[in-house]
Amino acid sequence: MTIEEMRQKKAEQGWTNRELSRESGVPLGTLQKIFSGETKAPRRKTLEALEDVLDPREYRSSRSLYNYPSRAAYMADLLREETAPYNVAMDREWHTVDEYYMLPDDRRVELIDGVFYDMGAPTKAHQGILGELYLQFRACADRHAMPCEVWLSPCDVRLDRDNYTMIQPDLFVICGDHEAPGAVRFEGAPDLVVEIVSPSSVKRDKYTKLHKYADAGVREYWIVDPKKRKVTVYLLEKDSDPEVYSFRDTIPIGLSEGTCGIDFSLIEKRVERYL
């Protein structure tokens, strides 16, 4: 689908830029540059995300307009979700990092492009996988003397260095220089991010965060799906097609240029009773 065809479908279906941004996961600024013509050659994955919404065909998101009897019903449902605790209605000013730090300590949320997303309590499978991943990533960095540090959620990452996004990746790796001791958060894009999906986060991890991480400069992104027992690896700096692995595979770490990998068969064995 060409950009002009997307413009036509966007107008025919009545999407605003903000609605299309939230449904597709493409950052609002990126979307505006595409439709204004400022971006001459958008990333293929960005265009695919927009096509999924404007001309879904096989793709059917539970939040898609095409699953509702009318656009009014879709918008009513979206607004009900957006006015839940700590979420913002579409006609209000976006939330900020300052507001993020004003939330109660017992509420775990992420702030993405001005919208708060509640984070549910992790399952045993989630925590088991996360713990095993941390051990193997640390072992890899130590074994090969990589100048990298491995961190676990909850750690605040101000991904875009702006006032509208603050995330807590499940696991992330930072190589080279990092924030000075005592800093309350990390600034900018990690080198590698791992997200373990749950039913409530699957769309955010697979679409919204994929595009956010790519645009922010994350070099490598892993999406771990415990239910399907598969891992999708995006080498974002190469803009190549993702590689999909099973829980029986040893997955090479791109940052190490293939010198070491993560043995998911060992992870599966140790957490199988929780899967």
* Distance of alpha carbon 44 from alpha carbon 100, whole angstroms: 32
Dihedral of the CA atoms 216, 13, 203, 192 (nearest 10)?
-10
Checking if the pLDDT of 188 tops 70, the result is: yes
In a domain, 119, yes or no: no
Checking if the pLDDT of 177 tops 70, the result is: no
- Among the ranges given (41-55, 87-101, 135-149, 151-165), the one the predictor scored with the smallest mean pLDDT: 87-101
CA-wise closest residue to 133 among 207, 222, 236: 222
Q: Are residues 194 and 72 in the same domain?
A: no
Q: Are residues 128 and 76 in the same domain?
A: no
* Distance of alpha carbon 170 from alpha carbon 126, whole angstroms: 9
| Token pair 């941390």 in the structure block, residue | 134
Average pLDDT for residues 38-55, to the nearest whole number? Answer: 81
Q: Are residues 11 and 68 in the same domain?
A: yes
Phi, psi of 120 (to 5 degrees): -70, 165
In a domain, 107, yes or no: no
In a domain, 72, yes or no: yes
Average pLDDT for residues 86-109, to the nearest whole number? Answer: 73
In a domain, 115, yes or no: no
Give the model's pLDDT for residue 266: 95
Give the model's pLDDT for residue 55: 78
Higher model confidence: residue 72 or residue 199?
199
What CATH number is associated with residue 220?
3.90.1570.10
Token code pair at residue 262? 């993560």
Its pTM surpasses 0.75: no
Q: Are residues 67 and 134 in the same domain?
A: no
In a domain, 184, yes or no: yes
Chain centre distance of CA 22: 13
Dihedral of the CA atoms 216, 219, 224, 225 (nearest 10)?
60
In a domain, 100, yes or no: no
| Structural domain for 204, as ranges | 124-274
Give the model's pLDDT for residue 128: 96
* Distance of alpha carbon 52 from alpha carbon 54, whole angstroms: 6
Checking if the pLDDT of 126 tops 70, the result is: yes
Checking if the pLDDT of 80 tops 60, the result is: no
In a domain, 78, yes or no: yes
Q: What are the tens digits of pLDDT across the range 221-234?
A: 999 999 999 999 99
In a domain, 71, yes or no: yes
Last-in-domain residue among 29, 57, 82 = 82
Last-in-domain residue among 82, 108, 132 = 82
Checking if the pLDDT of 86 tops 80, the result is: no
Q: What are the tens digits of pLDDT across the range 87-97?
A: 333 444 678 99
- Among the ranges given (57-66, 166-175, 195-204), the one the predictor scored with the smallest mean pLDDT: 57-66
* Distance of alpha carbon 109 from alpha carbon 104, whole angstroms: 10
